[in-house]
Amino acid sequence: MTAPPFKIAIAGLGTVGGGVMKALATRQDELSERARRALLVSGVSARDRKKARGFDLPGWQDDPLALAKGDADLVVELIGGDEGAARALVETALANGKHVVTANKALLAKHGRALALLAEKNNVALKFEAAAAGGIPIVKTLRESLIAYEVEAVKGILNGTCNYILSEMEGSGRPFAEVLADAQKLGYAEADPTLDIGGGDTAHKLTLLASLAFGTAPALDAVQVEGIGHITPDDIAFASEFGFRIRLLGVARRMEDGIDQKVHPAMVRARSPLAHVSGAQNGVTVDAGAAGAFFFSGRGAGEAPTASAVIADIVEAAAGAPGPVFGRPAALLAPLKPADGKAALSSWYLRFEVLDMPGVLAAIAGHLSEAGVSIESMIQRGRAPGEPVAIVMITHEASQAAVENALKAIAASDKVRARPCMIPMET
Ligand SMILES: NC(=O)c1ccc[n+]([C@@H]2O[C@H](COP(=O)([O-])OP(=O)(O)OC[C@H]3O[C@@H](n4cnc5c(N)ncnc54)[C@H](OP(=O)(O)O)[C@@H]3O)[C@@H](O)[C@H]2O)c1
């Protein structure tokens, strides 16, 4: 190898940063051969220098920004967060002509286009394979492989915490809050799980996949987001009776009037590939137009899968030309034109908790019919006398707007106990 060593500075030495340090140390020769240059960690930074980490800290800096101003060829940002230290580090590194590799979906979902412009202006790489679906190489696939035909849709189970919780609820019949508490004890869920269970993390990742798939600037504000906190064991049991499973999906699809981006719990057919993504796994389907449909699954988080994606980006940046960040020059990324997602048609699963008294069913059916929503099938399940009754319906195709209008009227009725639940059926 005649080229000078490729100097790497790593900021953030937690789960992912630690994994990257260990993998670089143990596989240095093999990875350097692939990069056709010796890979050398020349600087590191984190919050606490004294923390025991199990690896050396070459070129330690208390301030991560120093890494962006030093002699490194590439800066790896593994701090996290859409502002603060992470944003300052990435901006400074790119402005100083250094390649950047990051796993930070929140940062890119919010500032992706501006950062891509900065990278391309300075002719350096900005790579983010680990930011969406962890170890699954879906970013590279959408950026470089499935490009010959127009992508019609990308759908993914992109948050392992939510998928773990839904899978556990399915397997054990236990309620959401109990399973979440266990997931926190086992380290599958954060102490503050809001970003995961509220759907925000999935929205960050979906934004990036949509940008790569459709050639639009990342548009986080255009994602309609609903989390999984309202899903009950009943919903999961009913889904199973109808031959479906409930998964939190990020869905981006081309519609006639623009791009529809949504995060929501969805009923997926029990025999579909996404239904078989269980536990903390991730899964992504891509409808690549004439090229057909593709399905990818694997580990979406954790030390080794995420480090695997980061290392692939490092080696690629060390070996070759940077290439446009989102697959097309950032200046050509069109602003995303949001489709009217509420007009999109779907069949719906609806669950009502009602008081068992005459006329309830007729009242629900009446409101649905007034909104133009027709019922395909129904299950009514009684409990002990005097207890509320669950009524579950599957509708024929109807728009989200029509179903929401009907549910608003139904919820206002004194016969319905809780907010009705509506979940789209994925086809
Ligand atoms: N964990 C995963 O499975 C996973 C998967 C995909 C993507 N990601 C993304 O990868 C990034 C890192 O995640 P992680 O799970 O590795 O986080 P983590 O375990 O919490 O590690 C964060 C690291 O950043 C350091 N840090 C925090 N604030 C800092 C500051 N102001 N200046 C310097 N260093 C600072 C911490 O220092 P100390 O160690 O001294 O506290 C720690 O080493 C995030 O963007 C995350 O979204 C993570």
- Per-residue pLDDT of 345-370, as tens digits, reads 999 999 999 887 778 889 999 999 99
Q: Give the H or E element holding residue 202.
A: helix 200-214
Which residue owns the Cα nearest ligand 1 atom 41? 47
pLDDT at 1: 59
103 lines ligand 1 (CB under 6 A): yes
CB 159 within 8 A of CB 226: no
Instruction: Reply yes or no on whether the pLDDT at 399 is more than 80.
Output: yes
Q: pLDDT for 247-298, tens place per residue?
A: 999 999 999 999 999 999 999 999 999 999 999 999 999 999 999 999 999 9
Q: Any idea which of 8-17, 69-78, 209-218, 376-385 has the lowest mean pLDDT?
A: 376-385
Rounded CA separation 366/373 (Å): 10
Task: Report CA(60)–ligand 1 centroid distance (Å).
Answer: 16
**pLDDT, average across residues 327-348:** 95
Task: Report CA(81)–ligand 1 centroid distance (Å).
Answer: 9
195 lines ligand 1 (CB under 6 A): no
Task: Report CA(30)–ligand 1 centroid distance (Å).
Answer: 26
79 lines ligand 1 (CB under 6 A): yes
156 lines ligand 1 (CB under 6 A): no
Task: Report CA(21)–ligand 1 centroid distance (Å).
Answer: 13
142 lines ligand 1 (CB under 6 A): no
Instruction: Reply yes or no on whether the pLDDT at 75 is more than 90.
Output: yes
- Residue to mutate, 51, 55, 78, ligand 1, most ligand atoms under 8 Å from C-beta: 78
Rounded CA separation 126/358 (Å): 63
Task: Enumerate the β-bridge partners of residue 265.
Answer: 248
Q: Give the H or E element holding residue 238.
A: helix 233-241
| Ligand 1 atom at minimum distance from 79 CA | 24
Rounded CA separation 248/157 (Å): 6
pLDDT at 384: 63
CB 205 within 8 A of CB 112: no
pLDDT at 357: 77
pTM: 0.96
pLDDT band at 417 (very low <50, low <70, confident <90, very high): confident
Q: Give the H or E element holding residue 350.
A: strand 345-354
pLDDT at 375: 96
200 lines ligand 1 (CB under 6 A): no
CA angle 341, 344, 347 (to 5 degrees): 130
Task: Enumerate the β-bridge partners of residue 349.
Answer: 394, 423
- Please, what is the average pLDDT of the chain? 95
pLDDT at 385: 65
Q: Which two tokens stand for residue 189?
A: 């869920």
pLDDT at 404: 96
pLDDT band at 209 (very low <50, low <70, confident <90, very high): very high
**pLDDT, average across residues 82-109:** 98
Task: Enumerate the β-bridge partners of residue 295.
Answer: 285
The residues annotated as belonging to the active site are 205
CB 9 within 8 A of CB 72: yes
Q: pLDDT for 29-58, tens place per residue?
A: 999 999 999 999 999 999 999 999 999 999
Rounded CA separation 294/31 (Å): 29
pLDDT at 230: 95
DSSP letter at 142 equals: I
* Distance, C-alpha 53 to centroid of its chain: 29
CB 116 within 8 A of CB 90: no
Rounded CA separation 18/180 (Å): 26
3-state secondary structure of 217: coil
Q: Any idea which of 110-119, 129-138, 293-302, 376-385 has the lowest mean pLDDT?
A: 376-385
pLDDT at 383: 64
Instruction: Reply yes or no on whether the pLDDT at 427 is more than 80.
Output: no
Instruction: Reply yes or no on whether the pLDDT at 2 is more than 80.
Output: no
Please report the DSSP string for 278-327 in residue order.
-TTEEEEEEE-GGG-EEEEEEE-SSHHHHHHHHHHHHHHHHHS----TTS
Which residue owns the Cα nearest ligand 1 atom 30? 47
pLDDT at 321: 76
CB 208 within 8 A of CB 139: yes
